[in-house]
Chains A and B, each alone.
Chain A
């Protein structure tokens, strides 16, 4: 084909210029690919944090409202009121005013819901029945506090316990956990004293699969160890929801039983587009509950992951656009200059009977090849950029500040303390197929744009004028 022969020869003649234009486009495209990859990496990291917090597949999380501050002198709840203090005979525990002394070595073990007020478990089935909801599961996020009476008091120990709906393990924090030893929950475990323990927590507390752990004064058999994403701030222990409901109380101790209650509901929407509709439907069922969606949670995430996302989304994208525009302008100017130098050649071809369209196609073909070359180099540079980011980028930190649900009354009045989870997440810049396709299209578009500007002159070129420039 004469077209390709001519094209190849012409590109070979202008090899340096062609490579220069291709490199210009490649730098622009490479930057776009790198920034896109970095942006995707940051978003993945952010999503990883969010998924870890509420489990894979959870679109909406419903939590009971933060508990009200206890009324002075009154019962914190409808149940018995228990307090522990130091009496004339040493440590004593009082229930509804009746006190008895506690011996040294006695361990007070309380499993309670400190952060959220309870939600009736029946709400879970109501939410599951909503039109845009695919699945819903209830859970109890609890804290087990253990205090041992001693003449040399030591600070109480505590660990987090998740009462897990073992009929729906695909929702909630446990969905994000992978078994490393033993087994996971089975339907027959619903009413058994069995537990899954976080591998790291188990290691630091000498626990192992097959051993036992005491929760609310009851021994639970550890049936498995789980590993969970670093960015999840995961529960330390999982127990069947029914057992958690049977053992837990509302508040720090002495509160009402949580039988028939949950304090968290994990919901999967039919589609991402349905999330806001689901949110408002749930708000009608549970007006006082806190409803959290990925977007509302993302807005609460701070730290370097958030800064990196802003950097990639704002500065990175603008920088890419500017470099791309500069590359396009350089390509256009160089192509126009090249066409100017070939006026005589094109005039001759017109004298030979070549139509303007054929000459334009020739120039456009050359520009398209340069664009494709730019795309190929640009994609390579993009991969290299992503690899460099992965090699040198520090781990990103994500901090999520959430209310503890506690109320502290001090001299300055009542405050609601918050708790911050700061997690370190690796950033993995990944070049997607879409980014590659976009890069190729951008570079080819840049090449063709240059070709169009160059061709515009050829279209206007009258053969006699072109030849008169010969000399």
Chain B
């Protein structure tokens, strides 16, 4: 469970300071699907980075399962990302030189999973996204939808409790968008994930349990 209390994030660029998040209070229950929408530059991605331990809040408390991410050492945050949090990006972010299976396996490298076990889990992850027959393909040999499926498999292969998705359908056509979001919903249900999804897309956001709107660094919820 995430508990955010008075979380703010301020960026300094030269003499200018930009307040990306302002005094955000938020609780996200385990197994919840929260969608966050809002205009570009209003703090969606900043919120996701803080939730994923990719960045630290300037002030306030951000707790995951009782542990304050803002006070954790870098190594602890890295370990947390390696085991508990999965990321899905708008641009897929696959390593271009690695095959689909190798990209998925990259997520198991930090945990030191053995070769055999890694192979088994990679195969299972690719199977869960329907890409068993594409395991040896390089990213450029895959369609956008297939690449995002690989990215989903990569995010889930380590069996995280949290899945963070930043505009996961932003680079996909409408048909593929439905396919990917359907897949994510299925996996969310099957695995009991906490899914936090940032998107502009109303069709995607509507499928979430709860929708927050980011505006000027603050989050509000429709009642």
The interface of chain A, by Cβ under 8 A from chain B, is 2, 5-6, 9-10, 12-13, 344-345, 347-355, 358, 462-464, 467-468, 470-471
Q: Is the CB–CB distance between A353 and B111 below 8 Å? A: yes
Q: Is the CB–CB distance between B93 and A344 below 8 Å? A: yes
B69 to chain A, nearest CB (A): 12
A45 to chain B, nearest CB (A): 51
Set of chain A residues within 8 Å of B45, measured between Cβ atoms? 468
Determine which of B78, B93, B109 lies in contact with A2 in the assembled complex, contact meaning CB atoms within 8 Å. B109
The B78-107 residues at the A interface (CB cut-off 8 A) are 78-83, 87, 89-91, 93, 95-98, 102, 105-107
Set of chain B residues within 8 Å of A13, measured between Cβ atoms? 96-97
A359 to chain B, nearest CB (A): 10
Q: Is the CB–CB distance between A350 and B106 below 8 Å? A: no
Determine which of B80, B93, B97, B110 lies in contact with A10 in the assembled complex, contact meaning CB atoms within 8 Å. B97
A347 to B95, CA, bound (A): 11
Q: Is the CB–CB distance between A351 and B97 below 8 Å? A: no
- Of all chain A residues, the one with the shortest Cβ separation from B164 is A351
Q: Is the CB–CB distance between A352 and B81 below 8 Å? A: yes
The B45-84 residues at the A interface (CB cut-off 8 A) are 45, 49, 52, 54-55, 75, 78-83
10 closest A-B pairs by beta carbon, nearest first, are A353-B82, A9-B97, A464-B55, A353-B110, A348-B93, A353-B81, A464-B54, A464-B49, A463-B54, A13-B97
Q: Is the CB–CB distance between B98 and A9 below 8 Å? A: yes
Is B44's beta carbon under 8 Å from chain A?
no
Set of chain B residues within 8 Å of A464, measured between Cβ atoms? 49, 54-55
Set of chain B residues within 8 Å of A358, measured between Cβ atoms? 109-110
A295 to B75, CA, bound (A): 61
16 further A-B contacts with Cβ under 8 Å, apart from A6-B106, A358-B109, A470-B90, are A9-B98, A345-B95, A345-B96, A349-B95, A350-B81, A353-B78, A353-B80, A353-B83, A354-B82, A463-B55, A464-B55, A467-B54, A467-B89, A468-B45, A470-B89, A470-B91
Q: Which of B80, B83, B107, B109: most chain A Cβ within 10 A?
A: B109
Is B154's beta carbon under 8 Å from chain A?
yes
Determine which of B91, B97, B105, B106 lies in contact with A12 in the assembled complex, contact meaning CB atoms within 8 Å. B97
Count residues on chain B whose CB falls below 8 Å from chain A CBs: 30
A9 to B107, CA, bound (A): 17
A118 to B50, CA, bound (A): 97
- Of all chain B residues, the one with the shortest Cβ separation from A467 is B54
Determine which of B81, B91, B93, B102 lies in contact with A5 in the assembled complex, contact meaning CB atoms within 8 Å. B102
Q: Is the CB–CB distance between A471 and B91 below 8 Å? A: yes
A5 to B105, CA, bound (A): 11
A2 to B75, CA, bound (A): 22
A10 to B96, CA, bound (A): 9
Set of chain B residues within 8 Å of A353, measured between Cβ atoms? 78-83, 107, 110-111, 158
Q: Is the CB–CB distance between B110 and A354 below 8 Å? A: yes
Q: Is the CB–CB distance between B89 and A352 below 8 Å? A: no
- Of all chain A residues, the one with the shortest Cβ separation from B49 is A464
- Of all chain B residues, the one with the shortest Cβ separation from A345 is B95
Q: Is the CB–CB distance between A355 and B75 below 8 Å? A: yes
Set of chain B residues within 8 Å of A462, measured between Cβ atoms? 54-55
A315 to B173, CA, bound (A): 65
A102 to B103, CA, bound (A): 109
Set of chain B residues within 8 Å of A349, measured between Cβ atoms? 95, 106
A5 to B109, CA, bound (A): 12
- Of all chain B residues, the one with the shortest Cβ separation from A468 is B45
A257 to B57, CA, bound (A): 105
- Known A-B contacts A464-B49, A470-B93; the reply to A352 vs B55 at CB < 8 A is no
- Of all chain B residues, the one with the shortest Cβ separation from A471 is B91
Set of chain B residues within 8 Å of A467, measured between Cβ atoms? 49, 54, 89, 93
A14 to B97, CA, bound (A): 10
The B95-140 residues at the A interface (CB cut-off 8 A) are 95-98, 102, 105-107, 109-111
**Sampled A-B contacts (26; CB under 8 Å):** A2-B106, A2-B109, A6-B98, A9-B98, A344-B93, A347-B93, A348-B89, A349-B106, A350-B78, A350-B81, A352-B81, A352-B87, A352-B107, A352-B109, A352-B110, A352-B154, A353-B83, A353-B111, A354-B106, A354-B110, A358-B110, A462-B54, A463-B54, A467-B54, A470-B89, A470-B91
Set of chain A residues within 8 Å of B49, measured between Cβ atoms? 463-464, 467
